Structure 1
Amino acid sequence: MEEGYLLEECLTFCSRYMDDVETKFNKQDRIYDDDGDDDISSTDCLPIFGIRGRAFGKENPRLLSTKEWEEIHYYVLNNCEEVQPFIDEYNRDATNATGMVSSRKRKFIQWFRDQVTTLSKRKHPSATNNLISLAQGPDRAVVSVNGYMVNGSMYRTKDSERERETQNNGVVVKGESGASNLEYYGLLQEIIEVQYIGRNRVILFKCDWWDVHTQGQGIITDSFEFVSVNTSKVLANDPYILASQAQQVFYVDDVVKPNWKVVVKTTPRNSYDVPELNE
């Protein structure tokens, strides 16, 4: 025991001077979400194009349907801060807010493209290359991958985990502003990388969401603050989120109620919840 302890101390001392040799002190974490992408370094780059995370696993190229393209493009626009002034202007016109949801999405996408095109022709400073790229929409050819590392967690699609004992497909995302206490729980269905003009990219998670709006039937919070969701109650709309918006959860089967799962929240490895102290 003494010899083993002395040997470990000596190796530890020596390893601190070996910068070019991988040791337990400098080796890369198993879960790291920096892909080393330097393609987004331009000064006018929109934050929506700032890729966070790293893809892994098999790549499957495919084409988006018209409905998928509209849903993805509309969601990206609504989650880009630079587009918000255009959304506010569009919503002030009451005539634009009528019609079916799909029709409204299609109208706004076209309206936004026309607005940016007009600003570009006038040489307006707000019409940057990246805003023009965003207005044109993504390419219909996308890449679907099986796994993604982001926010300190590893995610896999639910289909890729059918033969695995591990569970990395549970996702939770915060509700929109005004519903800060609302959280949506679901399973990761697909990881999609969409391409824009100028080598700009956006990573999205397509998820199956459970109904969290119906207390008692879709979601329950017990006296111990444990949350349970009914897996037979599924929400049909808005399946997409940005990969950077996702947080990971795990689900445990409820042994009393069939079709119900208990939500288990976790903290990513090497991430600590340190309270802030007032000065």
Structure 2
Amino acid sequence: MEHLIVHLPYEARVGGPMQYMWIYPFERFLRRLKKKVKNKAHVETSIIETYIVEEIDLFPSQYFEPDVESKRSMPQRNDECTSSDDGIQVSIFNYPDGASGATKKRWLSGPEQHIIKTYIFTNCEVVTPYYDAEVTSLPAYFVNGYNFQTERHNTGMSTMNCGVCVKSSSYTDEENDFYGIIEEIIQLTYTLIPNLHIMLFKCHWVDPVRGMKVHPRYHLGNVNFKKLYQKDDPFILAQQEVHKF
């Protein structure tokens, strides 16, 4: 890899920013064109007919009501759209909306209801009358520039997307890093007010004292997931300063 320090600075100086030298956008566009071809004997005709069908499908969607979902109004895959409900000025409900994957419904257990209720009310007491025990469970959620996934959904993947790191302050004004694995991503719904949701991460936390060691020379952290935090406080808000590790 010695050659990298020779030609990369020259390419950066001559070519400018890297995004202007990437070929990925053109390869993706060519793939879209190839998918339109159904008759290899008439390639151009297949592409033209597919374009006509897409234009016919797209044209009437411009006259749909704003609340009707269509291909034209769908956000991009990793687009953080801030969800701010009309008439709701409580900051806890203004979260970047980036849910992804197939959802499913489940009921909260008694201890989970108590923990979530206590945690939410500690951060925002305005929501007290609107609490509901039914939640939506998600396999993945995009927030803070990261695509977080549950431990089960992340199993078998080449990259780790289920690890989270949050900073917690104590009474001594010291900040501690808490590392954990996402067990479940929960969307909590308050039914008395339409479209009122809160996103929560349920995590297995590592004990910051027994399960976390820092190398004295290189200052690299070693996280031991066999030594978990024993306190019953697994939930965090999705819009907190959450980072992936």
**TM-score range normalised by the length of the shorter chain:** 0.5 to 0.7
What letter matches 2:157 in structure 1?
R
Shift of 1:68: 0.8
Pair 1:229-2:204 in alignment: no
Question: Which among 113, 137, 142 is matched to residue 144 of structure 1?
Answer: 137
State the alpha-carbon separation in 1 of the partners of residues 159 and 99 from structure 2. 18
Q: Give the gaps of 5 or more residues in structure 2.
A: 1-14, 22-74
Question: Which among 185, 209, 234 is matched to residue 239 of structure 1?
Answer: 234
C-alpha contact (below 8 Å) 2:169/2:175 kept by paired residues:
no
Cα deviation per residue 1:9-44 (whole Å; 9 max; x = unaligned)? 9xxxxxxxxxxxxxxxxxx87532216x45x121x5
Q: Give the gaps of 5 or more residues in structure 1.
A: 10-27, 84-130, 251-279
Question: Which among 104, 107, 111 is matched to residue 60 of structure 1?
Answer: 104
Identity, % of aligned pairs?
Answer: 30
Q: Structure 2 length as normaliser, TM-score?
A: 0.63
Shift of 1:45: 2.2
Name 1:171's counterpart in structure 2.
164
Pair 1:41-2:86 in alignment: yes
Shift of 1:148: 0.4
State the alpha-carbon separation in 1 of the partners of residues 77 and 107 from structure 2. 32
C-alpha contact (below 8 Å) 1:170/1:187 kept by paired residues:
yes
Name 1:50's counterpart in structure 2.
94
Q: Secondary structure at the match of 2:120?
A: helix
C-alpha contact (below 8 Å) 1:53/1:151 kept by paired residues:
no
Pair 1:194-2:188 in alignment: yes
What letter matches 1:67 in structure 2?
P
Name 1:208's counterpart in structure 2.
204
Cα deviation per residue 1:32-86 (whole Å; 9 max; x = unaligned)? 2216x45x121x5211111223100010101111211111011011123xx4xxx
What letter matches 1:46 in structure 2?
V
- The structure showing larger relative contact order (alpha-carbon pairs under 8 Å, at least 6 residues apart) is 1
What letter matches 2:238 in structure 1?
A
